[in-house]
Amino acid sequence: MTNELIANFKQKISPAVFKVVEKHSLVTLDEPEYTLKLRLISASDGGIVFRIEDFKQKADYFLGGGSRRAGGKDNDLTFLDSQCIYQFEVKKTKHPQQLLGKTQLKAGLRWVRHILDVSCSEHEQLLTKVAYIQISIPKRPNLVRSAKKYRFLLSDNVLIVAVSSEVIEVEFVKIYNYILSNGHVLQNLDWKKIY
């Protein structure tokens, strides 16, 4: 499944905007407000990780000199693996259970569909599910009293990973196992209704 997708990406998409995840890959989202390290592990024969902002900047067709933030909303990170699109959005929240990123997650999925339309015409058969994941970083980390580095919450079919500080490493395998054990988080994707 993913081998075909990876081959299509390598043929049609600049290698500057995506990374192939074979075994273990550490992806760092380094923003002024936080640094998040996500340790990705492919559950299949390989996956693809990218930031839509990098596609926007490389394409350079938006006004503003290829601004990463131009062209509408998007999510922070996308991981394509094992028939699933994993959409990640990072938010600073006062309360960890606050769902603030669903708008960006849905908008990001439209971007992902566009990227897949360009790179792989058979993507609707290869990627049949989507998981929306919001990583919640506390606005005031010194007030968070949790022995765990992160915990899982569910809100409106979005998995919320509440982390305990602004610099944290999250293991994707724990997210993947949690999703597998809670099937309603992983919803069937109807491509006709994404618009």
Instruction: Give the model confidence (pLDDT) of 28-66 as tens digits.
Output: 888 888 888 898 988 888 899 999 988 888 877 666 554
Query: Alpha-carbon distance 192 to 20, whole Å?
Result: 28
| Confidence (pLDDT) at 116 | 93
End-to-end CA distance of the chain: 25
Q: What is the pLDDT of residue 148?
A: 62
- Nearest alpha carbon to residue 194 among 122, 90, 126, 109: 109
Predicted confidence (pLDDT) per residue in 105-157, tens digit: 999 999 999 999 989 888 888 888 888 999 998 887 655 455 467 888 888 87
What pLDDT, on a 0 to 100 scale, did the predictor assign at position 153? 87
Q: How far apart are CA 48 and CA 79, in angstroms?
A: 6
Instruction: Tell me how crowded residue 161 is: count the other CB atoms within 10 A of its CB.
Output: 23
16 CB-contact burial (10 Å; exposed 0-12 / middle 13-18 / buried 19+): exposed
Mean pLDDT for the stretch of residues 176-188: 70
Q: Is the pLDDT of residue 22 over 80?
A: yes
For residues 78 and 127, the answer to whether their CB atoms sit within 8 Å is no
The rounded mean pLDDT for the chain is 81
Average pLDDT over every residue of 83-87: 90
Percent of the chain with pLDDT over 70: 82
Domains of the chain, by residue range, sit at: 2-193
* HEC string for 93-159: ECCCCCCCCHHHHHHHHHHHHHHHHHHCCCHHHHCCEEEEEEEEEECCHHHCCCCCCEEEEEECCEE
pLDDT value for 145:
52
Q: What pLDDT was estimated at residue 192?
A: 43
- Between residues 175 and 143, the one the model is more confident about: 175
pLDDT reading at 89 higher than 90: yes
8 Å CB contact between 138 and 160: no
Backbone angles phi, psi at 13, to 5 degrees: -120, 140
State the pTM of this model: 0.86
